[in-house]
Each structure stands twice: as structure tokens, then as C-alpha cells.
Amino acid sequence: MRTLVVGLDGANIELIKQWAKEGKLPTFEKLLREGSYGNLESVIPTITIPAWNCMTSGKNPGKIGCFSFIHKAPGTYDFRIYTALVEKEKCIWDILSDCGKENFVFNVPNVLYAYKINGYMVAGVLCLSEEKLTYPENLKEDLYKMEYKRDISSIETLWGLSDKELLRKHKEITESQCEILFHFLGKQWDFGFFVLTELDRVQHAFWNQKETVLSSYQNIDRKLKELLDRLDREDEETMVIIVSDHGFGPNKRTLLINEWLARRGLLVVKKIPAVEVVKPLLRIQKNPAVVKMLRVMWRKLAPLRPLYLKLSKGASRTPIQWDKTKAFSYGTWGTIYINLEGREPEGIVKEEEYEQLRTEIIDGLKEIPVKAYRKEELYHGQYLESAPDIIIQIDDYVNSISGVVGYGKDFRERFGGHHRRDNGTFIAWGPDIKENCKIKAKMYDIAPTILHIFGVSIPKDMDGRVLKEIFKEDSELFHREVSFSYREKSEERELIEKKIKKLKFEKKI
């Protein structure tokens, strides 16, 4: 029996259940009625990276060294792509490849470049090199013959499109990528992992326009019907598992974390004249009406685009005076670093003050109220030392986080949608799957459950569990004993080797 994972970036299970019940999503209604489903709890921070990494590896960020899209390099204030700083984690398809299973992997966001597996691979939207887009390399020729379209990643393209054009573009991308999926289905395979990003992109932009959001869910619903019809024509039975990296909700309020730190005297920023000029424009562009106006101007004033992008990029960074700063955040993920003496190049917080400062920050955030955690409360594993010192969790009150400064307040009002941790999507359908069964699952449970389906031993260091409750009670999968594999090296020896590699890395820096 084959297993196909369909990733729907940002799919909200509550919306799916509601619209399926109302008859607006007939394919989803069939999948829910004939399968097992429930909320898939995401990770903290609740963002694409590390969510897909944790799902496909079955491990928490502390074990794989992935806490966001980019990481602070040890001993520096530089932030780099996370893969440059850690060893690659083994994903489901790597383990299955080692066991002789044939795989195809397409458009999974945490695949930054294609590499050799037992099968075929197309990297996700974050792929850094066109040369490393596919494995085998000649697969690229097939993709472009089928007019393969990747996700929209250019801000110039996004700003150049009207709302109607943007929505149409995302549906065209889904159409194109599903054609690639159907192409892979015609090959020999045991396991497939495929991701569509339309729902995430549309909900970010149009969350407050429910009919527009519904139209994208209906577009996905139609493609799922086409997928099920194609699988039904095949001789071999296939189990379908639908997952999302996180759910979705309104984005009404953004916490300006570096602004909050600065107002408490924990962070000091430099003033750069060119950046100060453009900040007022950056503030007003968050208004939906202003955004529409700016999009029109963007299309008409092409010569000014490079200057605007350069200034915007500069204004989005935080120019920090390190010798006066005790704590800082980078990006939009709510990860806070302590400027620790001996660890950071210009650290001013003494080791004996470290814990007291973390407590001060976490307790201060509670007054807003904002929920924040020490890294050891969330993570464990060999990369714990590399994790941010404090991690903020978005919720009903704080919908998103930004590291920009210059607004003179802790919050700003927003529009559109943003990620939620608690309403991600899990649906399993096919042979041996229990019908109309409601469950609760976590991101880490997907990898061990898939390995169990294939009868492959689960690495003991995976953090998830096998979702046995989704299987029919008279099935072999339900009664099969869960088997585990153990590391060849002792954990102590592996940790020593990691520390030696880290020291070598720091010397290079």
C-alpha cells in the first residue's frame, strides 16, 4: 500500500469542518466522513520554518537546530540560513529511501535544495539555487515543459498585482503544481510528500474577506477531488494524509518586540537619517486602503522601485548599539537573545545576571499580556545552547510579532490573517483508516505514524507518537507493535562530537 502526504500550508481545520458541513467543500466532507481528522498542533514559534522541519523529522527544534528561517551564528551578531549552521536532519523520505522505498518529494518548504534520494525531488519555494531545484537534475526539463510555476517570492511582483490578479496568480500556481503532482503519480512510487501554498498566501492577504478565502479552499477542494479520482483509477491502494504546518486566524495586533525592549531600556538603537525619512511611509502602508493606493503607484512609478525597496529593507532592520543593549530580537518570529558577556562579541550581561534578566523580560511581557518561554521550557536536544534565550508565543491577543523600531509604541494595528498554533489540519483517509474519527495530533506525530504504516522502525529520538487511534480496530496496523531503532553511537559520544564540530566552526568565524 502506498502513502501520499498532501501538505496544505496554513490550512485551518475549523474552516474546513464548517464549510464541509455547509456543503461548500464536498471533497473535504467526504474525507472527514470517511476518515480520521482533527486539530494538528504546531510548534513554537508558529512559522513555516521550523514547523515543516519538525513534522518531517519527528523532532523538536532543539534536536535539529532549526528555530526559524535564519539563525544567529555562534559568536557573532550575524544571522544566516539555518542549514549553514547545523547538520541536515533525516526526514521521513530519507529513512524510507534507506529502507528501499521509492519516493517523490515536491515543493516541501524545508527542502531548500534537491538532493539524492531513492526517487525524485523538487525543492520548495525557499530553494536558493536553480541548479539545485531538482533531483535528478534533468527533471527540471520535464517541469518547465509542463509550464511549472513556483510560488511568488518577489515583493516587486506582489506589489505589482491587484487583489484580483494576486488571487488568480495563486490559483494558477496551484493548477501548475497539481499537474506536476499528477505527473509524479504516473511514476513508480511508494511514498509521496507534496505541498500547496495557496491557502497560506491568500489567508495572509484576504483573511477579512471570507468569500475570497472560501474560493481558495474550494479551489483546493476541486484539486483534491481530481487527485482522489486519479488514485481510484489506480490498481494499487493508497492512503492519503493531509497536513498543515500551522492553522490561521485574524492578524489584528502586532507586538513590536524591539520597541518594547527599547522602551524598557534593554535595547538602544542608532538613528540613521535615510531610514528615518522612509519610516512614516512604512507606518501608513499597513492600512488596507493605503496598500491599494500604493499598489497603483507601484505599477505606475517603476523607476522609483529600487530606491523604495532599498530604503524599506534598511528601515526594517534594527541598527543596534551593542555596548548599550542587554536583549534584542531579529525578524518577525518573537525570538529574543540576551547580549551575554563571553558569548556575544560585545556582550554586556554578566552570566550571574542572565537568569534574572530572562525573568524580568518574561514577567514584563506577562503584564501586556504576552506569553513567553525560556528555551529549555520548549526545547531539548543537542542544539539547545544555540536556541534563542526567550521565545514568544502568538495567541488571541498578540497575533503577530515584528522586530522593527521607530513607531513609539509597543503595538500596531494590522489587517489580514496570520498563523495560529491550535487549528492546523490533520486528515487521514484510505484503507485501514477509521471513519468519522475525531483526534488530536501534534506536529511531531506525523513522521512516526508514517514509518509505522510502512513497518519501518522509528528512531528512538523522535519526539512524536504513532497515531494508532486513526486505524480501524480490526486492521493489522492497529494491532502491529510499534518498533523502535536505537542510535549506533551513544548519546554522550554524539554530543561530544557535536561540541568538537561547533568549536571548529567558531574558529572559522
Q: Which three three-digit cell numbers place residue 261?
A: 525592549
Q: What is the CA 216 to chain-centroid distance, rounded?
A: 20
Q: Which three three-digit cell numbers place residue 409?
A: 509604541
191 and 96 Cβ atoms separated by less than 8 Å: yes
Residue 331 has what pLDDT? 78
In whole angstroms, what is the distance from residue 132 CA to residue 115 CA? 8
16 and 227 Cβ atoms separated by less than 8 Å: no
Residue 412 has what pLDDT? 92
Helix (H) or strand (E) holding 212: helix 210-233
> Length of the chain in residues, anyone?
509
In whole angstroms, what is the distance from residue 461 CA to residue 380 CA? 11
> Which amino acid is it at 367?
E
Q: Which of 426, 420, 459 is nearest to 442 (CA)?
A: 426
Q: Which of 367, 320, 386, 369 is nearest to 348 (CA)?
A: 320
Residue 271 has what pLDDT? 74
Residue 204 has what pLDDT? 95
**pTM of the predicted structure, to 2 decimals:** 0.88
Cα atoms in the 13 Å half-sphere on the side-chain side of 480: 20
**Range 470-473, long-range pairs (CB < 8 A, 24+ positions):** 470/35, 470/36, 470/428, 470/433, 470/434, 470/437, 470/439, 471/432, 471/433, 471/434, 472/432, 472/433, 472/434, 473/434
43 and 387 Cβ atoms separated by less than 8 Å: no
- Average pLDDT per block of 10 residues along the chain, 509 residues long: 97 98 98 98 96 98 94 91 88 98 97 96 90 94 89 64 91 95 95 97 96 98 97 91 98 95 95 51 52 49 45 56 96 92 97 98 94 97 96 92 89 92 97 97 98 97 98 97 75 54 51
Residue 91 has what pLDDT? 98
Residue 8 has what pLDDT? 98
Q: Is 498 exposed, middle or buried (0-12, 13-18, 19+ CB in 10 A)?
A: middle
> Which amino acid is it at 261?
L
Residue 312 has what pLDDT? 41
Q: 3-state SS string over 330-365?
A: CCCCCEEEECEECCECCCCECHHHHHHHHHHHHHHH
Write out pLDDT tens, residues 172-200: 999 999 999 999 999 999 999 999 999 99
19 and 214 Cβ atoms separated by less than 8 Å: yes
Residue 287 has what pLDDT? 54
Q: Which of 382, 11, 443, 444 is nearest to 220 (CA)?
A: 11
Q: 3-state SS string over 424-463?
A: EEEEEECCCECCCEEEEEEHHHHHHHHHHHCCCCEECCCC
97 and 359 Cβ atoms separated by less than 8 Å: no
Cα atoms in the 13 Å half-sphere on the side-chain side of 12: 23
